[in-house]
Structure 1
């Protein structure tokens, strides 16, 4: 495994946002010899969140280059069995592992802390309470202006500050319009001992916990679904439901009480009593109701001179049902770092454009896969799952799992450079096998699938793939 840091390139990189994309990019930029500073608007490290799925394409980066992180990775990854139930609690099918391409579950706070620990051990500077109000660029430099009026400059500025990033002003001029999906998701995570103090919860999940098992239970309701992730120390639950203007918001700040969620559960149907008991056991003020918004693929991800570039949610947001948002954000970080190292300081602006060329079509396909997954989940009924149980076991395709984003950047950099500079032919090969990239948008995605324009078999994989 590589732990050797290349010689510094004297390239200065400013990363705005210390989330999954920003921290991965910071770590990989540092490993590739770049000078890194990270700016985060939060006042302190953000330990919010419940769980994320991280697939083999990200683990591959960690295995190759980050041995101490890998040790923590293997210690903290969950090996949860997944089972599908009717909303009443009746088992439909289950007792199997997640598909290989989906990867493993991590508690987001633990994964985030692992990345922070790596950054701290390397001396990477992360400035909290640093609120960026403006991005700008000149011929050979880029910078940001902070809320206190100060400015920070670098050879490249990387916007990794999420869906509300102001970097669109220098990249797209107009912000990509967010379209309401009509759905929202209640999410929370809290200590398992609190939940298990409830006798109804303990009767349902206590035996699994006592046996040392981790379980992921998927409850299928009418045009909705609920998840429960239960382990020895932590429990998470979610409910994807019709959005509610009183509670739904595109923000991860937890502010709701369990009673808010219970009212929605009870409005939908008669759920299993243990699931309702679990929701009622949630600590007050600990529930998020995250409004799910669609955004069309955004082809333009760099400023005119290439000195400012977006990664992660700043340029491609994902639905939770894709099980791929964090994966693509972290792939972004590693890909961009590789491109910047290859191009060097003198080609920094060009390297960001090469990165965008290598990444956009792949990420657009992953977003389309997420749309397909959401549509599939909301069309499930207990009857359809019982008739075809293998269908619910499908996840991200092999094209997601088998990709090596760093090696792809190394292998295709020069070819992509020639395409940008001289218009020579270039075809991405990091897409679903057999698929030729076709632009798409939310407005027509439903009819495109119905018409057969997109073959869903190319995008997803079976349980053993």
Structure 2
């Protein structure tokens, strides 16, 4: 594809957008990535990268680097949040690649470094996008503009691309919030408790997912899912407190109490949903990840689905070339909609790995091993 000089623009340099850019550039496409943030900061959040994603990272030569900066748990434990009883012990080996838990900021930096120099543009908040049939004009808040032959929207649940294709519609507040906190693991030594590598604590109506985010295991992270009747804040998140955490998890296991006691800073994030979209592309524009199929984070597969989308879209563009983008976009949706919708549904239900089950349909999946289905076969 090195002779294909048509320009591809990607809106959003999150994990889906950055990996899409890198995969497409490795395939020889001419790609620029536009990110609204002025720069990336190492914000306090962890992320799971399962074997289904590491197989994609191998294609851009970063799988070993990701493993080197990650914790690599051998099991996903599910435990009763009140009694501590084990509900499941799910092996994370045997799916063809390593299972990683890592700091999102560390992973983001690594992925951005795989992009060609000069192709990642910060401080580019998209304000207008016009597909005139010949090319696509992009207008940014800082007054700059750009043109591209096709545009990939990887700009999250509040996607400007989605708004352009389908009109403005606020995402639905799910009735849940997630608390996020990073803990200095050294603080935990005094308790004499077993802080496992990857464990989800389940209560009757709430949970707490906990894991290490570095290979040194010096940083322990938790994220919750807690009912919250209304989201009354306009910002993406607000500060929470140790006191609020104690209230939310009153009576829960001593390990959870120790985590809360060791918390210095905790934030609270609303969890939003959208209904399945009637279309994933139109004209020269196509979407991936949360712009296309946002989901609650309860399976730890949201970013993974964006990255799988990026890999499949790249496969389809290699198959057709950018000149036949319409066929590529159709192939992409046909080959992604069923899996993305299934993961979205299971994640929103929040039952994944609660009991002993085989997760090979998730972790054993290899986007490159799947035969490309045509429209007639779908």
Q: What TM-score do the two structures reach when normalised by structure 1?
A: 0.72
1:95 to 1:324, Cα distance in 2 relative to 1, 3 A: closer
Match of 2:156 in 1: 162
Which ranges in structure 2 are unaligned for 5 or more consecutive residues?
A: none
Asked if the contact 1:184–1:248 (Cα under 8 Å) also holds between the matched residues in 2, the reply is no
Match of 2:312 in 1: 335
Secondary structure of 2:114 counterpart: helix
* Higher fraction of helix: 1
CA–CA distance in 2 between the matches of 1:27 and 1:44? 18
* Residue of structure 2 aligned with 1:290, choices 269, 273, 278: 269
* Residue of structure 1 aligned with 2:366, choices 385, 397, 404: 404
Match of 2:67 in 1: 74
Match of 2:146 in 1: 152
Match of 1:271 in 2: 252
Match of 1:29 in 2: 24
* Residue of structure 2 aligned with 1:116, choices 112, 115, 123: 112
- Counting matched residue pairs gives 372
The structure with more radius of gyration: 1
Asked if the contact 1:36–1:124 (Cα under 8 Å) also holds between the matched residues in 2, the reply is no
* Residue of structure 2 aligned with 1:325, choices 302, 305, 308: 302
**Equivalent residues in 2 for 1:53-132, closer than 5 Å:** 53-63=48-58, 65-67=59-61, 69-80=62-73, 81-88=75-82, 90-92=84-86, 97-98=91-92, 103-119=99-115, 122-123=116-117, 125-132=119-126
Q: Encode CA deviations 1:354-376: one digit per residue, 9 max, x unaligned.
A: 3223222221122122234x1x3
Which ranges in structure 1 are unaligned for 5 or more consecutive residues?
A: 1-5, 209-213, 378-389, 420-424, 428-465
**What's the CA shift for 1:246?**
6.4
CA–CA distance in 2 between the matches of 1:126 and 1:352? 23
Q: What TM-score do the two structures reach when normalised by structure 2?
A: 0.87
**What's the CA shift for 1:314?**
0.5
Match of 2:341 in 1: 364
Q: Which moved more, 1:151-160 or 1:72-81?
A: 72-81
Secondary structure of 2:64 counterpart: helix
CA–CA distance in 2 between the matches of 1:46 and 1:171? 30
Secondary structure of 1:42 counterpart: coil
Match of 2:218 in 1: 233
* Residue of structure 2 aligned with 1:312, choices 266, 284, 289: 289
CA–CA distance in 2 between the matches of 1:394 and 1:324? 17
**What's the CA shift for 1:248?**
7.0
Secondary structure of 1:135 counterpart: strand
Runs of 4 or more above 6 Å deviation = 246-250
- CA RMSD across the alignment: 2.8
Match of 1:203 in 2: 192
Asked if the contact 1:135–1:308 (Cα under 8 Å) also holds between the matched residues in 2, the reply is no
